[in-house]
Structure 1
Amino acid sequence: MNQNVPGPLPTRLVFLSELPNLPVGSKVRFLGCVSKYTIAKGILTLEHNDSVSSPNRKGPRRAPGARIDVDVNLLLESLSHSDIDIGNWINVIGYVRPLSPAPSLVLQNEMLKSGGGRKKPSSVYVEALMIIPAGGIRVGEYERVLSEAREVDKRLKGSS
């Protein structure tokens, strides 16, 4: 095997709320709840108000409503309607892509009117390579395990 030929990028397990802060082109896996499906564009909107540990407080706090669009056009032939029903939790594996062009003022105003609050629209979306139904997942347990795994990774990287 030729060592100079790079393989596929490793997948990084992240919280949905972290996606806008990741470099474009990152390969990610994340959990989200289907809140909308725009059939004409092949776009799922996922949400996850994940708990994050706060150094200043005891216990978790809720991150403000994180939301991301997921392009599922590559998967249309293999998706079943039941996988993407509103309210279903799914795991997505895909690439972080830039939103281009930047969202228009009209789109930003539509988001404000539709209950998007004063949050600025995400500057990225995810191009899905795979969608895996999460089934009856215990979201709090998932968040705890992911947070603990990250702490272990930090400690291992710090000791090497």
Structure 2
Amino acid sequence: MSPPAAPSDASPRREPAAEADWFEVANRLFFRLYQCSNLLHKNGTRHMGDFGATTQQWAVLGALARPLVATKGMSVKDLIEFLLLSRQNLTAVLDRLEARAWVERVKDPEDGRSRLIRLTEDGNRTWQAMRGPIEAFYNQALSPLTEAEQVVLVQLLDRLKGGLNVV
């Protein structure tokens, strides 16, 4: 039996009872994601307490520490796209990180009008020191999941992120 035809908005048609059940599951899912996000910020920030860093600063440092980015740096535009932040939010985080001498804005060698953001030596040392507490946080948070489940979760979240990008 083939599935019912989708209406013009591309959402599947459901019977009223099935629609109510589906909504409850979807609502629970998004509520769980919201809760996880809040817990990630709350507990992640606690793990960064010794560094006086927030989870947003941790995310920026981690993005800039990736092997393909570490030497060259990233443009603000690329960081915005990678971290899914607004320019306003990212600028404030970058200003705080720059004030701590953890990142620097340097001229883009390929386009002298543009700036790249990259870790300073102190920022790299700080990132390396943060890795232990971050690993402990990851181990604690992910302990209920097997490695295979973690991989599946990443794949599912990537698909969900794709769906959220079109909303």
Bin the TM-score by the shorter chain: under 0.3
Structure scoring higher RCO (CA < 8 A, sep ≥ 6) equals 1
Q: With structure 1 as the length reference, what TM-score do the two structures score?
A: 0.25
- TM-score normalised according to structure 2 size: 0.24
Which is helix-richer, 1 or 2? 2
Counting strand residues as a fraction of each chain, which structure ranks higher? 1
